[in-house]
Copies of this chain bind each other. A is one copy, B any other.
Amino acid sequence: MRGVNAAYVELKERLGEIQDLQKTRSFLAWDQQVLMPAGGSGVRAEQIATLDRIAHSSFISAEIGRLLGRLEAFEAARPYDSDEASLIRVTRLDWEKARRVPADLRADMSRASSLALPVWAEARQNSDFSLFLPLLRQNLELRRRYVECFDAYDEPYDALLDDYERGTTSAEVRVVFDRLKTEQVPLVASGTREGSRPARDRPFSLEGQQKFELRVLERFGFDRTSWRLDPTVHPFASSLGIDDIRLTTRYHETNLDGLFGSLHECGHGLYEHGVSRTLERTPLARGTSFGLHESQSRLWENLVGRSLPFWRFFYPLLRETFPEALAAVELEDWYSSVNWVQPSPIRVEADEATYNLHVILRFELEQELLAGSVDLAELPELWNARMLEYLGIEPPNDRLGVLQDVHWAGGHIGYFATYALGNVISAQIWERLSAELPDLDDQFAQGEFGELRAWLTERLYRHGRKFTPKETLERVVGGPIDPGPYLRYLGTKLATLA
């Protein structure tokens, strides 16, 4: 037993070092987007590649495999949900997937992404898909080679999806998405508002936005001992440790959309910050999947941040902050404004009713792309035709169409689905917690969010990556993924806004 304990200590130490490298690597990426002077980009790409390479080769080493082998009895003797058994179990799955990918292919994928990103940015700027086409073709080809490394999946796309949502298949996602599409397309058609959204296109000072935003975030759980908030171009959340959470945000000068971006990123941060300290410096010290992570960003952004009780407390403060811009805007107008349903070409600006349709469109196209059933050169036309079918609008150009997202340039094929899964899961969790915490509306109206946060921490956050996404969802809501709650939530909300 002593020998096995030593093996566990050694495994944990090795994984701790790899975690240090990965956290540092993502911090370099954080800096790249938040602070780095443009001149630093060449060396930065090398620094990131070096940390990637060392972390990957340390992880797929035979020594990790040997330690995992020696720890089989140790794992079996411990409860399934113990930190020890979970770390061994999850690491084994990670290791078995990672070591199937040749180092060369990994390097090719990383290099192709680095090269594609600036070309995509230029193509998007000029709305010129042909510029991006050869690099998209190459990224796709590399993903096909990646998929070929595995043989355990029902269909090729599953190998990609599994990187973001372990154990979830394309077939399962299709069932969920077909239901969403069937119900959301008519819902959007009937719920679309005419005219322009109230409380837009007026001056909101950046200082006022920063001040107000911090007041909200601090009530959500943000504190300066463990968090930072910095401005950037494309907001995201990152962390160096459980007590070093980095949110980024942006501000528009004529509307308050940036606020919702910050609430969204804060949700990601709360998940990372809520992981049990006993899991620090292990691969379990983060959210269990992209879908579960997104369920939390969407929950804090939408279920909380676009609710009427939330604004009962915060709207008077908002109006105090911007007395001129909001002089003629009553609480009800404001509530209507932040829940305005209107199809628009850009996913990240979409309202709650149309958002999933943007995602479904991408999920379907990705599968067709991977299968090779689509002529890549015709992708822009296909994109626009689907937009018309699902949302009733056509993007005026490729910049506002097929070129809008960074994901395909960065090689992230299989990622999009998790955005809509996150919406679905957020409502499932909300139904469950509302039943257990009946006073939430009153608490929100008093500016209190502690009980909500404590519930989510206890049921979800503290476990980090101990359980698979499916196990996690089962533990939190007592069942599998189900679009019912989200569709009910959406139907009710749209009815009250009509």
Q: Which residues of A contact B (CB under 8 A)?
A: 16-17, 20-21, 23-24, 27-28, 31, 35-40, 42-44, 46-47, 50-51, 53-54, 224-228, 240-245, 280-281
Contact = CB atoms under 8 A, between A and B. Distances in A.
21 contacts: A17-B50, A20-B50, A20-B51, A21-B54, A23-B43, A24-B24, A24-B47, A24-B51, A27-B31, A37-B243, A37-B244, A37-B245, A38-B226, A39-B226, A40-B226, A40-B241, A42-B243, A43-B240, A43-B243, A43-B280, A44-B240
A40 B243 contact: yes
B225 A46 contact: no
Given A35-B228, A36-B240, A39-B225, 4 more contacts: A17-B50, A21-B54, A44-B240, A47-B240
Contacts of A240: 36, 40, 43-44, 47
Contacts of A53: 17
B244 A46 contact: no
A164 B244 CA distance: 33
A336 B417 CA distance: 68
A225 to B, nearest CB: 5
A54 B55 CA distance: 11
Nearest to A240: B40
A69 B475 CA distance: 61
Given A28-B24, A46-B281, A243 B17 contact: no
Contacts of A38: 225-226
A225 B37 contact: yes
Nearest to A40: B244
B227 A37 contact: yes
A334 to B, nearest CB: 32
A44 B243 CA distance: 10
| A-B pairs, 6 with minimum CB distance | A39-B243, A40-B244, A43-B241, A39-B226, A20-B50, A20-B47
Contacts of A21: 50-51, 54
Given A27-B31, A50-B21, A54-B54, A44 B241 contact: yes
Nearest to A244: B40
A80 B50 CA distance: 30
Contacts of A226: 37-40
A31 B241 CA distance: 14
Contacts of A54: 17, 21, 54
A241 B31 CA distance: 14
A50 to B, nearest CB: 4
A39 B281 contact: no
A174 B53 CA distance: 47
Contacts of A42: 241, 243, 280
A108 B74 CA distance: 32
A59 to B, nearest CB: 14
B20 A244 contact: no
A382 to B, nearest CB: 40
A47 B53 CA distance: 17
A14 to B, nearest CB: 11
A225 B37 CA distance: 5
A47 B16 CA distance: 9
A44 B281 CA distance: 10
A54 B245 CA distance: 25
A485 to B, nearest CB: 35
A280 B39 CA distance: 13
A51 B25 CA distance: 11
Contacts of A39: 225-226, 241, 243-244
Contacts of A31: 27
